[in-house]
Structure 1
Amino acid sequence: MPTKMLRIPTPDGQADAFAALPDDDKRHPGVLMYADGFGIRPVVREMARDLAGHGYYVLVPNFFYRHGPAPVVELPEHIGEETRAVVMSRIMPLIEGHTVERTLLDADAYLSCLTAQPEVSAGPVAVTGYCIGGLLAVRTAAAHPGQVAAVAGFHAPVGAAGPDSLRRLTAQAHFGHAETDLTPEALAELNQVLDASGVDYTSEIYPDTVHGFTMADTDAFNPAALQLHWDRLLPLLGSTLADR
């Protein structure tokens, strides 16, 4: 699976990014993938390659580029309970400083870069994300209704986007929540907002999951939930980008 590193011009500098694409000479639909707060690392690159293997050009930007190239924070090979607190203490200030304004400025740059790649076919794209990346995906999709055809977020604080952003969604959506992130009552409230927006969506709590369940380099990893994530994501992309 071909991969490359890119540098994306933004109003605040240049964001480094990882890209994976099918091994052929054809043009393919573009997918903007936002990593979780731990950023671009081997497990995220592998997920991007897996998605590219299904016929997509996948771009994964380092959204903390203002603080340096990835990895912005040094990470252990496995992020377990004994190291998570220390890692999170370094990452949380970066998350808290990543404002909505920065998110939207960067999203413009990321989408411009993605659609300009010669291997990417014309037309709308999809955006997906994990943890904080899922929130960035929602904000990106809400700000680009004519350009983003599908949006997905996994173990993501989707509700933090706010009702106004959720109501602006026009992309077909899927949100897969962790049991520890959302109660059934909170899920019902979130889904009521999505219902009011008129968006075509699915939003569900994945069984037996904790926050971070897709990430194989953490204690939160749940292989069955990762597979369910693919079972939801791939049909979503196929139905919205299939005619490209």
Structure 2
Amino acid sequence: MTANQRHCARARHHKVFIEPYEVYITPIRSTFRALSVMVRITDSIRNFAVASAMSLLAIGSASSADFSHAGARKTQVIWQALKSTEVNGFRTGMSIKEVASRITLRPLGNGDFQASGGGTTYGFGFTPLGRLYRIDSAQPLGRFVPDHATARELTARLTAKFGEPNQNQLPGGPAAWTRYMTMPSPDGRRQEARQAQTLSVMFQGGRSAQVELWIKLVDFSILWEDNARINASPKTRAEDAIRF
């Protein structure tokens, strides 16, 4: 075994939780003293999972410093949020009343609604407290074949509004954004990195079929916050009622 191999064997692993992935990030010192990583993902891999996991190198290198004070902080944000969470005038965090004042909602149950306006079809998801956290839209664009020029123009507009995508396969695949934040684990002993905001944009159809622009924006941080609010009082009552 070479000296470099022995060093690799002793390398310290940083374990990062990315729902539904479990990623191990290991620093390795090469002969040129460069930093590389070994990433193992234990679940089905989506198109942009690897690129997103690699972006968490900073978490691995800073984990010992940042997470050592986890007990003193409830949540430590380590992600740069999307520049915007608004699609065609609908913004995550809006109430059902605010959304309903702009478009007619058709309830589907469990906080899900459908709507149509301006030729675009929408799907909305609301938290149990009635705040918008998911926006789906499908906008018909006519019959044409999106090409690389179309993709470049759309990418420039998307980047200006939402920020740089983590992955871009337009026009044949999706452009995708993933933003992470840390949250305490259920046992409170560590901080877990979780997908807090996701955005995907893609063309659907083409040639003989109608082309649609599909957008899906999800802000899980709003859902988590409202679920925590709902749970706070029952949890406190239950804890106070414990007798033994």
Same fold (TM over 0.5): no
User: Which has the larger share of strand?
Assistant: 2
- Return the index of the structure with the highest Cα Rg: 2
TM-score range, shorter chain: under 0.3
TM (normalized to structure 1)?
Answer: 0.21
User: Which has the larger share of helix?
Assistant: 1
TM (normalized to structure 2)?
Answer: 0.21
